[in-house]
């Protein structure tokens, strides 16, 4: 009895399929199962981003803190790029902004660049303050220290600014309270000098023995000399005569 020929695919071996250009059949291999590197869940958690550049802790915000130095003629633009955790970011912001407050004004252009730099740093500061406390670093996070407005550099800047802002309304109030100088009331026999012109007189009573005395006051009508404005009379309705002393 003849033995039937073997059938492809029978037995423990995988089936063969012919490939174009191959002199013999090549066995088909079953697809490899997906492992942790192909997206299947594995024993290790997926990375959550970079840690702080200064301490390695997370969470961290990608931000750039800037500073400025005015050197009379020259200037320097400083920057430190993150990511930073909350504490290291605030410490960096306060240090660089504090240095800018007393180093950034010394130059014509720096006087305008410094406030812009301080305002730009408010963006990174807000990002750092929104972060959770740092954890998992390879070293302790930096100490943020005192708030910026409580540091000597900030006080050195804020005190003159506050004095200037207070001086302006104070001078305005003093001027309003003082008002115009009230004209003196002239009496016969007094000596005066005129610090204005005769269309806009400004008569001041002066000691007759002083070299600054120019005129002696006489009652009206005048034989010679000048006539004082009515504002220098007691009731505002009588003239006085001013006779030159020399």
pLDDT tens per residue across span 200-235: 888 888 888 888 888 888 888 887 778 888 888 878
135 compared with 197, residue with greater pLDDT: 135
Please check whether residue 58 lies inside any domain of the structure: no
**Statement to judge: residues 77 and 138 lie in one domain:** yes
**235 falls within a domain:** yes
DSSP per-residue codes, 15-40:
PEE--TT-SS-EEPPPPPPP-GGGTS
Kindly state whether residues 134 and 211 are assigned to the same domain: no
Contacts of 165 (CB under 8 A, 6+ apart): none
The predicted pLDDT at position 195 comes to 85
Residue 170 included in any domain: no
Nearest-angstrom CA–CA distance, 92 and 125? 9
User: DSSP class of residue 211?
Assistant: T
- Over residues 90-95, the mean pLDDT reads 94
Question: Is residue 56 one of the residues assigned to a domain?
Answer: no
Query: Angle at the Cα of 227 (from 239 to 234), degrees rounded to 5?
Result: 30
Same domain, 129 and 208: no
**What pLDDT, on a 0 to 100 scale, did the predictor assign at position 105?**
85
Of the ranges 49-63, 141-155, 174-188, which one carries the lowest mean pLDDT score? 174-188
Enter the pTM of the model. 0.50
Convert the pLDDT of each residue in 156-170 to its tens digit. 777 766 777 788 788
Task: Decide which of 241 and 43 is more confident.
Answer: 241
**Domain co-membership, 138 together with 202:** no
Instruction: Write the pLDDT tens digit of every residue in 65-85.
Output: 999 999 988 999 999 998 999
134 and 202 assigned to the same domain: no
* 72 and 151 within one domain: yes
Q: Quote the pLDDT of residue 186.
A: 86
pLDDT tens-digit readout, 2-52? 555 555 544 554 554 444 544 544 455 555 444 443 444 444 333 446 799
Residue 83 lies in a domain: yes
Separation of alpha carbons 193 and 52, rounded Å: 78
Number of domains into which the chain is organized: 2
* pLDDT for the residue 140: 94
How far apart (Å, rounded) are the C-alpha atoms in residues 175 and 169? 10
- pLDDT of 151 over the 60 cut: yes
Residues 154 and 98 in one domain: yes
Q: Are residues 71 and 136 in the same domain?
A: yes
| C-alpha 145: how far from chain center | 20
Residue reference for tokens 């410094």: 114
DSSP 67-113: EEEEETTEEEEEEEE--B-HHHHHHHHHHHHHHHHHHS-SSTTHHHH
In a domain, 111, yes or no: yes
Does 150 share its domain with 200? Answer: no
Inside any domain, residue 1: no
Give me the mean pLDDT over the 236-244 stretch: 83
- Domain that includes residue 122, residue range: 64-158
Angle at the Cα of 43 from the Cα atoms of 37 and 49, rounded to 5 degrees = 70
Residues 148, 82 share a domain: yes
């Amino acid at each position: 009895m003849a033995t039937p020929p073997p059938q492809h695919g029978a037995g423990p071996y995988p089936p063969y399929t012919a490939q174009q250009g191959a002199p013999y059949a090549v066995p088909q291999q079953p697809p490899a199962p997906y492992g942790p590197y192909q997206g299947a869940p594995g024993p290790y958690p997926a990375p959550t981003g970079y840690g702080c550049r200064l301490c390695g802790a997370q969470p961290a915000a990608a931000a750039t803190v800037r500073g400025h130095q005015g050197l009379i003629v020259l200037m320097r633009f400083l920057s430190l790029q993150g990511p930073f955790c909350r504490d290291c970011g605030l410490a960096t912001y306060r240090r660089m902004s504090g240095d800018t407050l007393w180093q950034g004004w010394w130059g014509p252009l720096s006087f305008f660049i410094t406030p812009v730099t301080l305002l730009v740093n408010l963006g990174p500061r807000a990002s750092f303050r929104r972060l959770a406390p740092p954890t998992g670093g390879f070293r302790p996070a930096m100490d943020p220290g005192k708030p910026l407005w409580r540091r000597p550099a900030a006080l050195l800047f804020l005190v003159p600014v506050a004095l200037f802002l207070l001086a302006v309304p104070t001078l305005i109030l003093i001027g309003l309270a003082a008002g115009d100088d009230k004209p003196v009331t002239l009496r016969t026999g007094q000596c005066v000098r005129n610090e204005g012109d005769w269309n806009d007189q400004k008569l001041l009573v002066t000691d007759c023995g002083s070299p600054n005395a120019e005129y002696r006051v006489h009652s009206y009508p005048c034989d010679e000399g000048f006539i004082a404005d009515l504002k220098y009379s007691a009731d505002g309705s009588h003239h006085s005569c001013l006779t030159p002393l020399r």
